[in-house]
Amino acid sequence: MGRPPKPTKLKVIEGNRGKRPLPKNEVEPGTAGAAKCPAHIKGIARAEWQRIAPELHRLGLLTMADRGTLEAYVTAYAGYRDALEHVQSEGAVQVTQTGYQQLSGWMSVLQKCRQEMIRYAAHFGMSPSSRAGLSVDKPAENPLEVMIRGSK
């Protein structure tokens, strides 16, 4: 058991802090069409897919094999947003017929969707804690600029 292994792409972005050898023959699922939103994803879930998928694909974190995980994330996000709207309009507490106050059913849905959303987001490094320590390589220097600087 224990912590699930971190994807190699995230290890590379972080700078391989553990200094362990990275897998050389790791399976690389196909990326063609990975950022394209499936037709059955609609509404808020589709908008979230279109917002986040291109960046994940650009970073090499979204492949065809990962689409199901991203689909679960955007579905949880849509459920979260729907439940949030209900809680904001109806309130987090409801009063029963006997006058007892209890947490709204929508509040429970909101909390569950939030947990799922955070869990799936961590798979892609989309939460602050899963992103802690990430660093992005600086863009490669222009070879012509290096040559000009070196000749001075």
The tens digit of pLDDT for each residue in 83-108 reads: 999 999 999 999 989 999 999 999 99
Give me the sign of the Cα torsion angle 62, 65, 71, 76.
negative
Mean pLDDT of all residues in 72-84: 97
pLDDT band at 79 (very low <50, low <70, confident <90, very high): very high
Cα separation, 58 vs 152, whole angstroms = 37
**Strand pairing partners for 98?**
none
